[in-house]
Structure 1
Amino acid sequence: MLFEIFNISEVTVFLPIKERRINNKNIKMFTLVGIFMFGITVGTIQCQTYENVLNLRTTLLTSYNADMLPLDDQSGSLNINLTMVVFKMPEVDHVRGAITMGIMVTQEWYDERLTWTPADHNGTMGISIKSEDVWTPPLTVSNPVTFTMLDTSWMQVMIMADGKTSYTVGGIIEFSCSFYMKFWPFDKQSCSLELFPYGYPMNRVTFSVPGTVVDTGIYTENGEWFLDEDSFEYEINSIFGMSRVVYSFKMARLSSFYILTVIVPINGIGALTCLVFLLPSESGERVSYAITIMLSLAVFLTITAQELPKDGEPIPIICLYILFNLVVCIAGLLFVILNLKIYFRTEKVPMAKFYKSIVRFSKGKWRRRKVQDETRDREKSVAKSKTRINSRTVFVSNSEDPDPNLHENIEWKEVSEAIDKLLFYGMVVATYIPSIIILIYTAAASDYVTTES
């Protein structure tokens, strides 16, 4: 496409030949735009050249020593303002007691050795210098998993004409935290990140936190933990005679995954323990069935132990819950074995009244037998009081037993089946009621526990 060039108030405009017809309104618009862009460009450049900045850098660093505190009075103290940004928390390892977090920390202070008059350097208001060439705070994590210093030689330090210096450091760091696992997997944790200037005592370097404690505007959510972004607090104290800033925060575990993969299966396996008493004794599978359930609970106990810290204090309630189900399962296995011995007992073995009472109780005849015993005792008492001959008491004896169940024929198999029935209901109560109570208590009682650093 061919173009025709128009120069309008020092603004060059390229227009196609086919669009030569430009009215006065368009010409005025192009003129105003050109003047506006020219003004912005001139105001931004301010005639600062490479030589201007290079000369300023040379002047500033000529007698500058990066190893010395940037104060004219070396007996004074330097105050540093800290502003922290948290942008991610990729991993929380509660077994090792470690948190991996991505942070950026902006440090601001006044370097009294790096000041100049902008007019003497062609209006230069600021300069950027490598951190290895000027003094920077040796910011260090005081509760790290491994020694961590937030400082790199290639990063830039922004310095203004009045000496105000800004230095941003950061990265993915790993620091320690004491996890309180009593209410796992419904636990809530309170942790802290501690920073201090390595090698500088409190009378030389101090910290302060102005404005917002922590900026979480660009934070990326963690899939397992909910970080309460409004819970960040700070405290300035000392460690080893050096100023320290402690950023404390709260986070809660998202327990949906563990509910589906641990708690629900454990409850299901616990429910299967009750069904062992409904299997027929002739099947020959009752013992193997109970052992399989017991081994399944043992596997879940092992898996859960791998997810917990090894300090053992305090013991998570969920571990006690699994252990309780395991004990109930072992008790069920013992009852099954003992009951099978009763089931296959020969009829030559005499049967005690206790076993007959179990059968009557399981069939609902216990109450009727009790009423019959009370009726028979009243009839005997009336007969004794009315029968007296020649001052001698004659007792009336009934040749017929009023209780037809006294001589009923009960077999050992019936006793075994009655015991199975009672144990089934007993196991249902022993399995579900404690489970409901423990799970409700674990979820409701969980709260943030602050541990001392």
Structure 2
Amino acid sequence: MFSQIITLIFFGILYPSYSQDCVMLPSKEDAWDKKLHTDKMANYRVRQPPRNQSCILVKVFFRLKTFGFDEYEAKFTAKIWTRMIWRDERLTWSPEEYGGVSKMVVLPTDIWTPSLKLVNSVDPDYYSMDIEECRVNNNGEVMCVPEIIYESFCFAKLGDWPFDVQNCTLQFADGDRLSSSRFRFKGRAMALDDAEYGNGWNIMLMDPKEDPDSDIQLSITLTLERQASGLVAVLVGPCFILSILTTTPILMNVNDYIRLGFSCFSLISHFTFLFFIDEFLQHSGDTPGILFFVRDSIILTITSVFFTFVLSKIANRKNVPFEWVSLVSNKVFFSFGQYLILPRWRVEPDYKDTKVKNKEIWANTANILNSVYLVVVIIVYVILFKTYMPKQPPVQY
């Protein structure tokens, strides 16, 4: 116990002498910086812009970090580092008077800063800005780099969906009525090198415009292209299957109920596919071409159902055919044209039926009409695929 007390007294004596080495003494540079900050902020009015400048030129440079396009809410969101540089004559000094200090760091709440307002903002009252400090040079040049989240309106155009291209614009103006700031771009206006992709869109083009004398002084239009490879894979395949489902029943016997059932199944599949597409689409002023394809394919399927009933009536007729019907039937089936008739169903011979010859002529006529309809359906589908199927547009941004 006595030895522990002696040890504590020993360390108590050593502590004051050694602990002085750990004390951070202020340097001369810190002292000058503190004096400079005190002098410049003494009579500085934060809400007042520089008075001795007729208009305040503010150079702006954007660096895009993340972006997103919500086509359902027609909203484009961008998280951007916004570098703003201007001159404030109230913040000038001679470095020789302050120990050679030529730069000063201040809080943005301690000085006047320009108000860069997003004109086409989704919510005019919403403003998210993250800025820690600004740098001031001895010539009065101030630079602030806030991290700002911009949300602007951007209405989707889906005529070429899923290979659609959207143009989203950010429009900026001076939001401070007390000042007359003139905003101009610095350099190439916006850097896209560090932008994080992977949200379903790629930025293909940037078009900056500036007009300091108008209400909208700065605007940047970003051309977005959808990452459509996954959507195309799940759209083109089903469309091809739907065309097969509509065409296949035409190759079946018109008197077979399987043909009618297959056509009805194809019709149900079309509407099911429409519900599937609805999961990926939102309401828009433009109608995607693939919906026109499905619409026309449904019309073809319904036509096939009614045509099946008509052909069934023709194939089962027993009365004496018209002269032109017999002429067409004989011309086709007693020439090379018989090899172009597909499918071909014949009347089962019945020696007790005296009208079997008439039935064969009507059945041949139904075969001819069915083959012509098959060719028409194939041609129509080729046109539909060429016209409405989504395809990669040429690069013309």
Contact 1:82/1:107 (<8 A) preserved: yes
Q: Is structure 2 residue 46 aligned with structure 1 residue 66?
A: yes
Do the aligned residues in 1 keep the contact of 2:61 with 2:84 (CA within 8 Å)?
yes
Q: Deviations over 1:294-352 (max 9, x none)?
A: 2322333344456455342x433332222222211221122123223444x363x4433
SS state of the match for residue 68, structure 1? coil
Equivalent residue number for residue 296 of structure 1: 269
Task: Report what 1:12 is aligned to.
Answer: none
Contact 2:317–2:362 (Cα < 8 Å) also in 1? yes
1:220 maps to 2:210: no
Aligned to 1:336: 308
1: CA distance, partners of 2:335 / 2:65: 72
- Structure 1 residue 83: deviation in Å? 0.5
The aligned runs of 1:9-88 (5 Å cut-off) are 47-49=28-30, 51-69=31-49, 71-73=50-52, 76-88=54-66
1: CA distance, partners of 2:86 / 2:134: 11
Distance 1:332 1:120, change over 3 A: same
Q: Structure 1: which amino acid aligns with 2:133?
A: Q
- Cα gap change, 1:243/1:439 in structure 2, threshold over 3 Å: closer, same or farther? closer
SS class of match (2:145): strand
1:27-64 CA-partner distances (Å, limit 9, x unpaired): xxxxxxxxxxxxxxxxxx98422x44333222221111
Partners in 2 of 1:216 and 1:445 — Cα distance?
A: 23
The 3-state SS of whatever aligns with 2:90 is coil
- Whole-angstrom CA distance in 2 between matches of 1:208 and 1:259: 42
TM-superposed deviation, 1:415: 4.3
Q: 1:328 to 1:97 in 2, by over 3 A?
A: same
Say if 2:187 is the partner of 1:206: no
Deviation at 1:286, TM superposition (A): 2.4
Look up the equivalent residue of 2:371 and give its one-letter code: K
Equivalent in 286, 291, 300 of residue 319 of structure 1: 291
Q: Give the stretch that moved more between structures: 301-310 or 264-273.
A: 301-310
Tell me the amino acid that sits aligned with residue 29 of structure 2.
Q
| Greater Cα offset, 57-66 or 422-431 | 422-431
Seen in structure 2, the aligned counterparts of structure 1 residues 284 and 261 have a Cα distance that, compared at 3 Å, is: same
Q: Which residue of 1 aligns with 2:99?
A: 122
Q: Distance in 1 between matches of 2:129 and 2:243?
A: 56
Which aligned runs of 4 or more in structure 1 are off by greater than 6 angstroms?
Answer: none
* 1:361 Cα deviation from its structure 2 partner: 6.1
* Alpha-carbon shift at residue 168 of structure 1 (Å): 1.0
Give 1:433's aligned amino acid.
I
Shift of 1:409: 6.2
Task: Give the corresponding residue for 1:403.
Answer: none
Larger Rg: 1
- CA–CA distance in 2 between the matches of 1:162 and 1:134? 15
Aligned AA (2:116): L
Q: Secondary structure at the match of 1:158?
A: strand
Structure 1 154/311 Cα, relative in aligned 2: closer, same or farther at 3 Å? Answer: closer
Contact 2:32-2:98 within 8 A present in 1 as well? yes
One-letter amino acid of the counterpart of residue 198, structure 2: N
Alignment partners' CA distance in 2, 1:80 and 1:122: 30
TM-score by length of 1: 0.68
Q: Over aligned residues, Cα RMSD in angstroms?
A: 3.2
Where does the alignment leave 5 or more consecutive residues of structure 1 unmatched? 1-44, 369-406, 449-453
Q: Determine if contact 1:130/1:156 at 8 Å carries over to the other structure.
A: yes
SS in 1 for 2:202: strand
Report the 3-state secondary structure (helix = DSSP H, G, I; strand = E; otherwise coil) of the residue aligned with 1:53: helix
Are residues 1:145 and 2:156 paired? no
The match for 2:239 among 231, 244, 266 is 266
The alpha-carbon deviation at position 250 of structure 1 amounts to 2.1
Say yes or no: does 1:279 pair with 2:255. Answer: no
CA contact (8 A) 2:116 2:175 kept: yes
Check conservation: 1:275, 1:424, Cα contact below 8 A: no
Rounded to whole Å, the distance in 2 between the matches of 1:199 and 1:299 is 55
The AA in structure 2 aligned to 1:158 is R
Counterpart for residue 25 of structure 1: none
Distance in 2 separating the partners of 1:364 and 1:146: 77
Q: Which moved more, 1:208-217 or 1:298-307?
A: 298-307
Q: CA deviation at 1:157?
A: 1.5
SS in 2 for 1:285: helix
- Equivalent residue number for residue 321 of structure 2: 351
Deviation, structure 1 residue 273: 0.6
Q: Distance in 1 between matches of 2:256 and 2:83?
A: 74
Q: In the alignment, which residue of structure 1 is the partner of 2:9? A: none
Q: Does structure 1 retain, via aligned residues, the 8 Å contact 2:156–2:284?
A: no
Q: 1:134 to 1:206 in 2, by over 3 A?
A: same
Greater Cα shift, 163-172 or 115-124:
115-124
Once residues 78 and 131 of structure 2 are traced to their aligned partners in structure 1, the CA distance between those partners, rounded to angstroms, is 22
Distance 1:216 1:423 in 2: 55
Secondary structure in 2 matching 1:173: strand
Tell me the equivalent position of 2:230: 257
Of 408, 417, 429, which residue of structure 1 is paired with 2:379?
429
Contact 1:213 1:233 in 2 (8 A): no
Deviation, 1:259, is: 1.7
Q: Partner letter of residue 73 of structure 1?
A: N
Q: Paired residues, what number?
A: 354
Residue of structure 1 equivalent to 2:11? none
How far 1:227 moved relative to its partner? 1.3
Q: Which secondary structure does the structure 1 equivalent of 2:89 belong to?
A: coil
Q: What percentage of residue pairs aligned between the two structures are identical? A: 16
1-structure distance, mates of 2:206, 2:225: 14
The answer as to 2:132 corresponding to 1:155 is: yes
CA distance in 1, matches of 2:167, 2:212: 20
